[in-house]
Amino acid sequence: MICGLPVLTEVEDVCAGCASGKHHRKKFDKEQTWKASYPLELIHTDLCGPMQNESVGGTDTSSHSLTTTQECAGYTSSETNLMH
């Protein structure tokens, strides 16, 4: 047994945000109804930024990141510091 740790009590009332965050979601269907059949037919992108904190590598706080995935080939690329 570890000595010095506080005794935790069980909380009975949980806020709505905490409760909904713990809910399990239904799984996605494993069978896709449609898939891209040739390159560049379907591309997924995600743009993130500006970052509020400096990164581990020391880039400034105004950096952005763009991730692109080609559905057909499964190729993913990522670019950072796009706004310089």
CB 44 within 8 Å of CB 68: yes
- Is residue 69 within a helix (H) or strand (E), and if so which, with residue range? strand 65-70
Length of the chain: 84
pTM over 0.75: no
What residues of the chain score a pLDDT lower than 50? none
Residue 65 CB-half CA count within 13 A: 10
Q: Where are the alpha helices (H) located in the chain, listed in sequence order?
A: 16-21
